[in-house]
Amino acid sequence: MTGGPTVLTVLLNWRTAEMTLKAAESAERAMEGIAGAIVVVDNDSGDGSFERMSEALGDRPRFRVVQSGWNGGFGAGNNVGIRLGLPDGSRPDYVYILNSDAFPAPDAIRLLRDYLEAHTKVGFAGSYIHGPDGEAHQTCFRFPSVASELEVAARTGPISRLLAHRTVALPVPEATGPVDWLAGASMMMRDSVLRDIGLFDETFFLYFEETDLCHRAAQAGWPTHFVRESRVEHIGSVSTGMKAWRRVPGYWLDSRWHYFRKTGGTSRAVAATLAHVTGGLILRLRRLVRPSIPPGAPHFLRDLMGHAARQLMRPTRKG
């Protein structure tokens, strides 16, 4: 028996069909008693994922499996599912996005829905995320700033203490409450807020899209809250391969630049880059004295500066 506010769960797949099917099974269990539907979007995997998932889920009434038609990244793929709405064409009360390598506890989705129902001035709510070993994942953050770029790059005690109130990554909160933004592995959003502020900005291919969405919601007066009681197991980086990166990819640099420019213009993007380079040089000086200090990502400062230079040399589009 289902009833009450409706929830549209969106699962995005890219070349992880078996993992996505496992996440879909978990989502189906967590949607028991909740009115709504689950849409699985294949982000143009081209590896048989769409056919495999359609075969497995096609005759189950809760599910729709759709093809995005192109791989526009995380935000664009989720937008395909969000725009579809419920099977009858109506809009849901809430949209819930779930990573393809994330497995909600049986009450995880209901707890997020009930939290938003009880806290009518909160726009988005996200879960407590943990690994298969039960260890908490760091998923709560402050909005990035010029100061936070200096702090994260320098990794130096006095600077970190001075800028502690600007550090982006937050310790896992012990209790439910507000944060600036949450990783999108398990996040529920009011559909009315999305209709007000817009969906994911598809300029972001990967990374910073949740940051931007939560920032736009906050600017419109809709804060984001972390809900400790809603628990979701997450493997992490299965589709992106982030754990195996030997070098930061260009799309991460593109997303970072776009976020800072969008939230403060080109001058803010330049200032953030200069702050990060300054912090990176401080770290290098420290390593001359203490070589045991772990270095930053290989070639990162060079890649960061080169990327910024290319962005500044791009011709300005005329209206």
More confident residue, 297 or 316: 297
Burial 43-75 (b: 16+ CB within 10 A, else e): bbbeeebbebbbebbeeeebbbbebbeeebbbb
141-168 pLDDT tens trace:
999 999 999 999 999 999 999 999 999 9
Closest CA to 147 of 264, 240, 24: 264
**243, pLDDT greater than 60:** no
The Cα–Cα gap between 313 and 222 comes to 36
CB contact set of 34 (below 8 Å; sequence gap of 6+): 2, 4, 6, 7, 109, 110, 113
Assess contact for 272 and 139: CB atoms under 8 A.
Answer: no
> pLDDT band for position 237 (50/70/90)?
low
> pLDDT band for position 246 (50/70/90)?
confident
The Cα–Cα gap between 13 and 212 comes to 22
Q: What are phi and psi of 188, to 5 degrees?
A: -110, 140
State whether CATH 3.90.550.10 applies to domain 3-137+172-240: yes
Q: What are phi and psi of 120, to 5 degrees?
A: -75, -10
> What residue ranges do the domains of the chain occupy?
3-137+172-240, 245-313
Query: What pLDDT was estimated at residue 242?
Result: 54
The Cα–Cα gap between 109 and 293 comes to 42
Segment 308-317 long-range contacts (CB within 8 Å, at least 24 positions apart): 308/257, 308/269, 308/270, 308/273, 311/257, 311/269, 312/266, 312/270
What number of H helices and E strands is found in the chain? 10, 11
pTM: 0.94
Q: What is the DSSP letter of 243?
A: G
- Measured from the Cβ of residue 221, the count of other Cβ atoms closer than 10 Å reads 10
Query: What pLDDT was estimated at residue 144?
Result: 98
Mean model confidence pLDDT for the chain: 94
**318, pLDDT greater than 60:** no
- What is the percent of the chain with per-residue pLDDT over 90, rounded to a whole number? 91
- Adjacent-strand bridge partners of 3: 34
The Cα–Cα gap between 57 and 20 comes to 11
Residue range 291-316: average pLDDT?
Answer: 91
Residue range 286-308: average pLDDT?
Answer: 92
26-80 pLDDT tens trace:
999 999 999 999 999 999 999 999 999 999 998 999 999 999 999 999 999 999 9
- Measured from the Cβ of residue 256, the count of other Cβ atoms closer than 10 Å reads 24
The Cα–Cα gap between 99 and 239 comes to 10
